[in-house]
Chain A
Amino acid sequence: MIRLVPDQSQQIRRAAEVEFTFDGMPVRAHVGDTIAVALMRAGHLHLRDAPQDDAPRGAFCCMGLCQECVVRIDGGLVESCCEAVRDGLVVQSLKVSAP
């Protein structure tokens, strides 16, 4: 089929991979990826539960404003869309059921 907008996905070269964990599950990412991006690519969209109603939430604005993608690292809250992954990083969701 004729494409006026070519598929360029095969022309993208990404950095070497690292591994971190999200709620204990291993997630692979490229060096330089933000945590939110690595989680999104791995299909982990549900990052926390909302206050009051515990409804599932995930990255929304993707630019550091909405705070929906906040996760827990070393006990502190971190905007996962603004923080780069590191090998061996332990990331925890803010789900009610989080380990």
Chain B
Amino acid sequence: MTESYDIAVIGAGPAGANAALSAAKHGFRVLLLDEQPAPGGQVWRAKSAAILSAPATPESRAGKALRAAVRDSDVHHQGNTRVWQIERQSAGWDVHTLTDGQTAKVMAKALILSPGAREFVQPIPGWTTPGVIGLAGATALFKRDLLLPGNRTVVSGTGPLVFFVASEIRRLGGQVAAVVTPNTRRDWLGVLPAMRGRPDLLARGALWVADLMLAGVPLLWGHSVTAAQGQGSVSGVSVRKLDRNWEPIGGERGIEADSLCLGHGLIPNVEAAQLAGLPLHLRPELGGWVPEVGADGRTQIDNLFLCGDGAGIRGAAAAEIQGKMAGLNAARHLGADTAGAIAELQQSYARAARFGLAMTKLSQPRSGLSSLTTPDTVVCRCESLKQSDILAEVASGAGSTNAVKSGLRAGMGPCGGKYCQTAIARMIAAAHDRPEGDIPPPTPRPPLRPVPASALAGDFDYNDLPIPKPAPL
């Protein structure tokens, strides 16, 4: 059975949920699809059922309000659902989903993509060791499970996320061994003007840093973790100072720890937009490759809209507003008079985006970051391919991410290239002395998420298969 909606929204974070709410207010039938059980996205992720009660945080409050708004609306929210294929049809879109092991197809006249972001982690020696998790992964543990990543954790990476993660470890009773960030205090001074528009967040960040300093946690500005030690688990990390271009300089020192949270900024999830037919452009100030889309969520395809961090990393506040604009634009496409409401949101969007972009700038990779990856470092985690394997393939003529993918299977493993392609593209660009803009991500192929073959095949009995009579001899 194929269900039919006016508008399908993929992703129920701040952008997608607000897009759905805005469109539903104009009387349209809206389906909101999401991988998580409840709306909120990564940033306002709901607690797991294992948490009966816990102190509220700004994130939990925002998520709770969003979930209440969706619950009280006419939006049909379908959680625990993965979208694995999107197809454009003459009358709209076919969206193929997987829920509880069952595949289904949904039709919609208009489609809103709010796929969010994932984390970029520059591969370092030992980053595949159990006990090393992404910075964003750590936030998922805090928000959903209120769980610590270990007993003594080094937090390393760029932008504001390191301080949030370190502070959450302290709030949940854990021990932060050190905060190690490539950013310098000067980098942060540079973004202060853009932070004036959000004094609440500025104050919160200042409190995190002051608390860490009072607690005597080493704050290593202008440094990076260069390796994680340990075989079956993390026993410590190595740290080096970085120069202005994030090239490691000076000697290595060790810090004892049983866990490491590591991340180098967020990158937009572009695969769904690629499959839908939107061209990509390299915009490092927006987090990397981004689909072509207007500030108000409209795209070159008249019944396709895109919003949130999947359109460029601008943060939750901007995502909320862009989501509303995308939802109103989808409603407008289907005949509602929403032009005035969209125009009213433009200014607040620009203000919110200014703050978000300043944070994104702190994570914009500099030339030296790639040198944290050594020849023996695993780059493609799924296929255990080292940097030297990939460079050998590139030296033998592979000049695109597609070529490296088909030659080595880097990006064909179960993660679908989500954790290796950014680093591989930069390796290709550097080896062939070409600009990064010449090396786009590989052509996306469905499934967007792993789909069990049994779900695709459906239930059948071999005895029921019609077998034609053999041809007479």
User: Which positions in A face B, CB cutoff 8 Å?
Assistant: 1-15, 29-34, 37, 40-41, 45-47, 50-53, 55-68, 70, 76, 84
What per-residue 1/0 map shows which CB atoms of B136-170 lie under 8 Å from chain A?
11101100111101000000000000000001001
Q: How far is the CA of A57 from the CA of B146 in the complex (A)?
A: 22
Choose one: B134, B149, B173, B384; the contact of A52 (CB below 8 Å): B384
Flag if B172 contacts A56 (CB, 8 Å). no
What per-residue 1/0 map shows which CB atoms of B43-64 lie under 8 Å from chain A?
0000011111111000000000
Known contacts A37-B48, A66-B415, then 7 further A-B pairs from the complex at CB < 8 Å, ordered by chain A residue: A2-B214, A9-B173, A13-B53, A13-B54, A32-B49, A59-B137, A76-B452
Choose one: B53, B146, B207, B381; the contact of A60 (CB below 8 Å): B381
What per-residue 1/0 map shows which CB atoms of B329-364 lie under 8 Å from chain A?
000000000000000000000000000000000000
Q: How far is the CA of A37 from the CA of B53 in the complex (A)?
A: 18
Flag if B137 contacts A63 (CB, 8 Å). yes
A–B Cβ pairs within 8 angstroms, 15 of them: A6-B171, A10-B173, A13-B51, A15-B51, A37-B144, A41-B147, A60-B128, A61-B118, A61-B133, A62-B134, A62-B140, A63-B137, A66-B381, A66-B419, A67-B415
Expressed in whole angstroms, the minimum distance between the Cβ of B381 and any Cβ of chain A is 7
Max chain B C-beta neighbours (<10 A), residue from A6, A8, A13: A8
Q: Within 8 Å CB of B42, what residues of A? A: 63
Q: Contacts A12-B54, A50-B384, A63-B42: A5 and B171 contacting too (C-beta < 8 A)?
A: yes
> B418 an interface residue at 8 Å Cβ cutoff?
yes
Flag if A12 contacts B130 (CB, 8 Å). no
Nearest first, the 3 closest Cβ-Cβ pairs linking A and B are: A32-B49, A58-B130, A9-B173
Max chain B C-beta neighbours (<10 A), residue from A13, A31, A55, A61: A61
Q: Within 8 Å CB of B54, what residues of A? A: 8, 11-13
Interface size counted on chain B using CB atoms at 8 A: 56
> B215 an interface residue at 8 Å Cβ cutoff?
yes
Choose one: A34, A46, A65; the contact of B232 (CB below 8 Å): A46
Expressed in whole angstroms, the minimum distance between the Cβ of A24 and any Cβ of chain B is 18
User: Which positions in B face A, CB cutoff 8 Å?
Assistant: 35, 42, 48-55, 118-119, 128-134, 136-138, 140-141, 144-147, 149, 167, 170-173, 207-208, 210-211, 214-215, 231-233, 378, 381-384, 413-415, 418-419, 449-450, 452
Q: How far is the CA of A8 from the CA of B168 in the complex (A)?
A: 10
Q: Within 8 Å CB of B130, what residues of A? A: 45-47, 56-59
Determine the residue in chain A with the shortest Cβ distance to B118.
A65
Interface class of chain A by DSSP: loop
Flag if A7 contacts B171 (CB, 8 Å). yes
Q: How far is the CA of A60 from the CA of B382 in the complex (A)?
A: 12
Q: Within 8 Å CB of A2, what residues of B? A: 214
Flag if B233 contacts A45 (CB, 8 Å). yes
Q: Within 8 Å CB of B415, what residues of A? A: 65-68
Flag if A4 contacts B214 (CB, 8 Å). yes
Q: Contacts A4-B210, A5-B211, A7-B173: A60 and B134 contacting too (C-beta < 8 A)?
A: yes
Expressed in whole angstroms, the minimum distance between the Cβ of B176 and any Cβ of chain A is 10
Q: How far is the CA of A44 from the CA of B279 in the complex (A)?
A: 43
Flag if A33 contacts B145 (CB, 8 Å). yes
Q: How far is the CA of A14 from the CA of B211 in the complex (A)?
A: 27
Q: How far is the CA of A57 from the CA of B118 in the complex (A)?
A: 20
Flag if A56 contacts B207 (CB, 8 Å). no
Flag if B52 contacts A46 (CB, 8 Å). no
Flag if A14 contacts B170 (CB, 8 Å). no
Flag if A3 contacts B140 (CB, 8 Å). no
Choose one: A32, A47, A50; the contact of B50 (CB below 8 Å): A32
Determine the residue in chain B with the shortest Cβ distance to A53.
B384
Q: Contacts A50-B384, A61-B119, A63-B140: A37 and B131 contacting too (C-beta < 8 A)?
A: no
Flag if B128 contacts A57 (CB, 8 Å). yes
Choose one: A33, A53, A67; the contact of B382 (CB below 8 Å): A67
Q: Within 8 Å CB of A61, what residues of B? A: 118-119, 133-134, 136-137, 419
Q: Contacts A8-B171, A60-B137, A61-B119: A31 and B49 contacting too (C-beta < 8 A)?
A: yes
Choose one: B50, B128, B170, B381; the contact of A33 (CB below 8 Å): B50
Flag if A32 contacts B51 (CB, 8 Å). yes
Q: Within 8 Å CB of B208, what residues of A? A: 5
Determine the residue in chain A with the shortest Cβ distance to B119.
A61
